[in-house]
Chain A
Amino acid sequence: EAGVAQSPRYKIIEKRQSVAFWCNPISGHATLYWYQQILGQGPKLLIQFQNNGVVDDSQLPKDRFSAERLKGVDSTLKIQPAKLEDSAVYLCASSLDLGVRPTGGGYTFGSGTRLTVV
């Protein structure tokens, strides 16, 4: 099966500019996640969708970050305006159902978008 697709792979922007990332999950996967991975750290959840509804966005900095999954398939994550501390890899992941279940296996991650804010 095709994996989780993300674009772009790399993006360099100046602080205060805006940027958007795109994710296409594995076909049939109901749940989509956006994680932020700062250099030297493990990934941290930003937002989780079940179909086109938000399940958890408690760690999303809502003053500058937004995300949508309008038709329950593709998703877009936006940052506006960007700050220097937003430099990180943004990982998209998908799973068959909510979270990790013995019957559904684990998450599948995309390759990520590396954002550098200068």
Chain B
Amino acid sequence: GQQLNQSPQSMFIQEGEDVSMNCTSSSIFNTWLWYKQEPGEGPVLLIALYKAGELTSNGRLTAQFGITRKDSFLNISASIPSDVGIYFCAGQLGGSQGNLIFGKGTKLSVKP
């Protein structure tokens, strides 16, 4: 089946540092999404990207839809303790009626 390769698998950073994570695939997606999941909760949408090359920000978060439509990255600037959680990328294939393909997640730990 379709796969998204998400990296890194985990990150341990100091409060105030910037963070970068990415997803790549061999398939072309028409939509890229970034979600955050905290323990005991469902994923919460952070940013949605709909066009190749699109760069979108949401507060301290910035994400880009790769030109090839096969990759995306998420940056978090000036991390704070509440950024802790698991970040998932998800892609929707062209022609798909809604099935989102998820990466395996990046677990972020922030040391105060």
Contact = CB atoms under 8 A, between A and B. Distances in A.
A111 B40 CA distance: 7
B100 A45 contact: yes
Contact of B48 (A4, A42, A105): A105
B88 A91 contact: no
Interface in B74-107: 88, 90, 92, 96-100, 102-105
Contact of B99 (A56, A102, A106): A56
A34 to B, nearest CB: 12
Nearest to B107: A40
Interface residues of A, number: 29
Contacts, number: 71
A43 interface: yes
Interface of A: 4, 31, 33, 40-45, 48, 50, 55-56, 91, 93, 95, 98-100, 102, 105-112, 114
Interface residues of B, number: 24
Interface of B: 4, 6, 31, 33, 40-45, 48, 50, 88, 90, 92, 96-100, 102-105
Nearest to B47: A106
B33 A100 contact: yes
Given A40-B105, A42-B90, 17 more contacts: A31-B98, A41-B104, A42-B4, A42-B88, A43-B43, A45-B100, A48-B99, A56-B99, A91-B42, A99-B98, A100-B31, A100-B33, A102-B48, A102-B50, A106-B33, A109-B42, A109-B44
